[in-house]
Structure 1
Amino acid sequence: MLHDPRPALRSTPIWRPKRVLVTASAQAYPHGRSIAERAEALGLTVERLRSDRLPLERGEDPRKAYARAKSTLAVVVAPPSKLRLQPIAPSADWRVDLAEGCPAHCSYCYLAGSLKGPPITRVYANLSEITGALPSYLGQGVVTSRSAERAAEGTTFEASCYTDPLGIEPVTGSLSALISWFGRWDAPVQLRFTTKFASVDPLLDLDHRGRTRMRASLNPDAFARFEGGTSRVAERLQALRRMAEAGYPIGLTIAPIIAADGWEDAYGGLIADIAAVLGELPASADPTVELITHRYTPGSKAVLESWYPGSDLDMTGAQRREKRTRFGAVKQVYDAPTMAALRRFFETEIAARLPAMRVLYWT
């Protein structure tokens, strides 16, 4: 059995960045000014900049640079490219970004190597422009818009590709604003987000009209050492149940699935915990499951090993094979026998213990 090094259940405090920077352009937007005011109300020091250049230190020790960046929130204006949405199969039709960067410290983070520069969290002030671009994508896309199996979800928009929107919500208010906007959008649409955090109180009373699906990103407690700064799994499950009771559709994102020693017992225990907490949900919950195995690129591996030099997450290449994306990028994924064993286990366990949950995809 794997040892869970964490102490007894406790509430995870909300993220309080040590530095909040607001660019000159961001200050021109009501949402940008609102974020600055929220940060000050939390007792944070806000630096209102006179330009759009972020005053970040360069050339310092990589570990210090990482720590400084991860404790910095920058309020900026999303560039025009963010208003031209990109498809995000197999999760949803389209990706909508509220921010880039995340306050968590996950040693498998798939953003490593994907984002340029220090890993600060950049949140977008021009939320009105972002939402204004969405209606032109209604009925478009191939994941749910034109899928017989998932057509009931409508046109889907994924908000957690480049951030954990609930993790930064206490400071930004962006997720609540977007959920409310989708609630007012009288169309067959669904906003989706997944999170490793549990502070859902601000979301429970929103007029969401069932157009937002929250998913909890889960791994067994035995693998908690790979998910620093996040809420306990038990807290995430309780938060998910509260959201279901508030009328939200919900789901599970079991990711990344890690084939370490003892994984069968670890994931079997996780599925048992899920069944215990999420039994007898309201019909509106429409619970779903997404299953994503651990993978990494050479670039992300190099970045992660510089950020987390003491991590024992296996990225040695054992039980791995190369997979090339349609864009020519190389990923290390589990080899065929390991993938087959993982998939067989999850399909069997979910069918037996979570029969009401619809599996959306395996990857």
Structure 2
Amino acid sequence: MTDAVPHPRLFDIRRIYVEPEAAALPRGRAVLERFPDAERVEVDSHSRIPELYGDETNVARWVRIKTEALVLGVKKSLTARPNGRSADFIAPSTANGCAMACAYCYVPRRKGYSNPVTVFANIDRIGGYLRRHVGRQGVKGEPNQCDPAAWVYDIGENSDCSLDARISDNVRDLVTLFRDLPTAKATFATKHVNRDLLDWDPQGRTRVRFSLMPARDAKLLDIRTSPVAERLAAIDDFVAAGYEVHVNFSPVVVRDGWLDDWAELLDQLDDALGPAAKAQLAAEVIFLTHNDRLHEVNLGWHPKAEQVLWRPEIQQPKRSQTGGWNVRYRTGAKGAYVAALTDLVAARAPYCRVRYAF
């Protein structure tokens, strides 16, 4: 029996779309047992569910679908992709989608007009693949910006692992796996404080990256997430529990007064952290990239967010790999924005090493 406990504000699961193969696996059965009253809808593929994905009429039900629907599937293709920024490798997903609703999230660009959580039930196969992949790398030959000694694997590229841990034990299994791999670390970014993770004894082999932004931005853009103050308050506790804790300053949104608000956030960070957290802290700085298709989706459910996310007068377009248009701050001006914020970090939080900024 899993220890995962659903979050009552974020989950009211009423319908589970399930692949038969997933339902037959131990993890799949455990997830189904957690929601005994939910309607079960058998599907051929977790990624092809017409009433969830690709139906623009779902925009008006964006948050409701996240709250009430869950998908249970099997991860077919297992690969660890090279990365080089947040991690050396992106691990195979044990989940995708999210019950939170950040207005800038890139996952909906891939899944259409809805992205409830999908849990992959073949965790034993995923864990076995990762163990073998780590073994093939051997000892890390030289330091890089990901880590000086360990191969780092991002286990949450397409979901929020802190939230996933409220549905199944997949994330706990991976934290346990990496605890016993002396040449590797797991990592994931999160906007959700799940204190159940404090009991997992990671022994320094999992790096949690708390995503932070000024409260004014978070109130508008970080929908259904833990308040920034709660994330700040959790950092010392996660360090004490054996996690390495970094922060993501992400996404950085340029607007009137943005730099002053970031200065206030950095002061709040300084006040929140004890010596142990400061001694191991590092940050990633990621400025906003937006997308024309997500812009259209947001206009259907959260148009106020687009007033700060969609700024053609200071952004430039670039064709995306999926055929749409991404927009980012204009070359030249963006370099000045990055320098201004990294200089501010150096002045207000000099102990916080910036791993990369773009």
Indicate whether the TM-score tops 0.5: yes
Q: Does 1:38 align with 2:39?
A: no
How do residues 257-296 of structure 1 correspond to structure 2 at under 5 angstroms?
A: 257-281=252-276, 286-296=280-290
CA distance in 2, matches of 1:282, 1:297: 35
Q: Which amino acid aligns with 2:294?
A: S
Q: Does 1:230 align with 2:221?
A: no
Contact between 1:93 and 1:140, CA under 8 Å: does it hold in 2? no
1:341 to 336, 345, 348: 336
Q: Does 1:302 align with 2:296?
A: yes
CA distance in 2, matches of 1:336, 1:157: 31
Q: Does 1:216 align with 2:210?
A: yes
Specify the alignment match of 1:164 in structure 2: 160
CA distance in 1, matches of 2:284, 2:56: 39
Deviations 1:248-276 (A, max 9, x none): 10000111000011101111111111111
**Which structure: greater helix fraction?**
2
CA distance in 2, matches of 1:137, 1:182: 12
Contact between 2:249 and 2:286, CA under 8 Å: does it hold in 1? yes
CA distance in 2, matches of 1:113, 1:251: 27
Specify the alignment match of 2:170 in structure 1: 174
Specify the alignment match of 2:3 in structure 1: none
1:135 to 131, 138, 149: 131
CA distance in 1, matches of 2:304, 2:98: 20
Q: Which amino acid aligns with 2:101?
A: H
Three-state SS of the structure 1 residue aligned to 2:200 is: coil
Three-state SS of the structure 2 residue aligned to 1:281 is: helix
Specify the alignment match of 1:76 in structure 2: 73
Three-state SS of the structure 1 residue aligned to 2:340 is: helix
CA distance in 2, matches of 1:305, 1:222: 20
Contact between 1:78 and 1:124, CA under 8 Å: does it hold in 2? yes
Specify the alignment match of 1:6 in structure 2: none
2:115 to 99, 113, 119: 119
CA distance in 2, matches of 1:277, 1:287: 13
After superposing on structure 2, the runs of 4+ consecutive aligned residues of structure 1 that deviate more than 6 Å are: 325-329
Deviation, 1:63, is 2.9
Unaligned 5+ residue runs, structure 2? 1-6
CA distance in 2, matches of 1:63, 1:148: 42
Deviations 1:99-157 (A, max 9, x none): 1101111111122312356322211111111111113432778xx87544544251111
CA distance in 2, matches of 1:145, 1:110: 33
Contact between 2:95 and 2:164, CA under 8 Å: does it hold in 1? no
Three-state SS of the structure 1 residue aligned to 2:20 is: coil
Deviation, 1:324, is 5.8
Moved more, 167-176 or 49-58: 49-58
Deviations 1:79-111 (A, max 9, x none): 2x2x12222341112212121101111111122
Specify the alignment match of 2:190 in structure 1: 195
Q: Which amino acid aligns with 2:337?
A: L
Specify the alignment match of 2:235 in structure 1: 240
Deviations 1:10-52 (A, max 9, x none): xx96521332413321111111122223345xxxx33344554
CA distance in 1, matches of 2:83, 2:204: 21
CA pair 225-148 structure 1, distance change in 2 beyond 3 A: closer
CA distance in 2, matches of 1:126, 1:30: 9
Specify the alignment match of 2:102 in structure 1: 106
CA distance in 1, matches of 2:85, 2:354: 12
Moved more, 114-123 or 323-332: 323-332
Specify the alignment match of 2:39 in structure 1: 47
Deviation, 1:362, is 0.7
Q: Does 1:28 align with 2:24?
A: yes
Contact between 2:235 and 2:277, CA under 8 Å: does it hold in 1? no
Contact between 2:236 and 2:277, CA under 8 Å: does it hold in 1? no
Contact between 1:215 and 1:240, CA under 8 Å: does it hold in 2? no
Unaligned 5+ residue runs, structure 1? 1-11
Specify the alignment match of 1:61 in structure 2: 57
- What is the Cα-based RMSD across aligned positions, in Å? 2.7
CA pair 248-117 structure 1, distance change in 2 beyond 3 A: same
CA distance in 1, matches of 2:26, 2:80: 23
Three-state SS of the structure 1 residue aligned to 2:167 is: helix
Contact between 2:88 and 2:146, CA under 8 Å: does it hold in 1? no
Deviation, 1:290, is 0.4
Moved more, 300-309 or 267-276: 300-309
CA distance in 2, matches of 1:18, 1:215: 28
Contact between 1:25 and 1:77, CA under 8 Å: does it hold in 2? yes
CA pair 308-140 structure 1, distance change in 2 beyond 3 A: farther
State the TM-score, normalized to the length of structure 2. 0.85
CA pair 332-140 structure 1, distance change in 2 beyond 3 A: farther
CA pair 342-240 structure 1, distance change in 2 beyond 3 A: same
CA distance in 1, matches of 2:313, 2:357: 21
Three-state SS of the structure 2 residue aligned to 1:202 is: helix
